[in-house]
Amino acid sequence: MNIYVDDTTFFEDRDSGQEYVGIGCLMVDDDNSREIVDKALENLKIDPDINKEKFKKQDSNTLSNGYFHACDDSQNAHSHFCTSIRENLIANFQYTYSKNDPESRDKAWKQCLYYLAVMTTQAKDEVNLFIEQRANVSKESISEVFDYVFKGLDWGCYDLYAIPKFYPKINLEIVSKESAGVQIVDFVTWAKNRSHFSKPDTKWEKRLGFSSKSTAGKLGEDIYQGDIIFRGGIRENHMEVYPKESFPLGEFGGNEEICNYYQDVIKEVIDFLFNNPAKQQKLQHIFDSFISLREEIINMDGILHSALIDGISSCYLRLFDMLPIYEGLSKTDHKNYSKLIKTKKLCGLTLRKDLIHGVRTNQYLASVFRNSINVNKQ
């Protein structure tokens, strides 16, 4: 999956009134953004209207620059780019609006990043995230949002254990406006902005030919968001489904069963962190994110505390659908599928600090396994 992010600003009365910022996110699986831009530029170059006096300067600049920028381009450029997007783009597009003051803008950016972080969890393969350079956006701030969302996924595994959850590697790059994907985001957001003028101009939004769209809230409220689908949108190709015969899981069968399940969890995590270079290489980004856990286990000196249970549970949940833990297990082996999904549910429970039985389970497991984690410390 490739994701492109950009923002634009506009005034509600075109040149006056309240100023808003719109942030757009374009999500594509088969990325043909370069081809879309190149085709539109080729068609603009052979358009006889570029020689008309009212278009000549703008179109000349667009062609010499070699990229589109909606607020600077002519209607000729808009038309060719819009047509190329409509005819060739298969994607999901999400937009977030707020008033353009520092506090609202930062909140809108964070809300947008939360959304796209959640969207990445439907992708098992690497995700390439391209964000146009902005003063208020850094790799560190974006990484913090993803860490927060991924921890939230861990936390939710207790209640939503039946839904596969993926933690893909995120390749983040800060790019310029020349990026083909960013050019598409810029144009779609620009077209959407115009539909929000006090006297709406929906011409370009309609010409883009969305498959569908939805909104939440309205412009002027704290945060206004919506989704747009182009040509059916992206497919969730990696969303494997656990065998339905594995459910319902039923309750845990007492302390002994809980301990047996968690013993399997510990073995899997220890194997990944210490004994299995092949698994580490396959999921290098997960291994790297749990280096500190590895060091804590090496230095624990027989004391297993609540924070280490948190780390072990979180690491196991990252591995569950990414390895996956159930790799090689027959879909007809419903008993063992149920058992594995119960380990997922148990790990989610140990992270639930808002639940008394979650905290108690965490503490109980820490005391039971205090002296039973042995690793090769070489």
Q: pLDDT tens digit string along 123-164?
A: 888 999 999 887 567 778 888 888 888 998 899 999 999 989
Residue 116: partners with Cβ closer than 8 Å, 6 or more residues away:
3, 5, 25, 27, 94, 129
Tokens read off for 328: 């090689």
Contact 5, 116 (CB under 8 A): yes
Tokens read off for 108: 């809108």
Give pLDDT tens digits for 200-210. 999 999 999 87
**127-132 and 2-11 beta bridge pairing:** parallel
pLDDT band at 258 (very low <50, low <70, confident <90, very high): very high
> What pTM does this model have?
0.87
Peptide bond into 324 cis (omega under 30): yes
Please give the pLDDT value at position 135: 57
- Give dist(CA 113, CA 108) in Å, integer: 9
CB-count burial class (<10 Å; 0-12, 13-18, 19+) for 29: middle
**pLDDT > 80? residue 378:** no
Give pLDDT tens digits for 261-311. 999 999 999 999 999 999 999 999 999 999 999 999 888 876 788 899 999
- Give dist(CA 308, CA 22) in Å, integer: 42
- Give dist(CA 17, CA 187) in Å, integer: 22
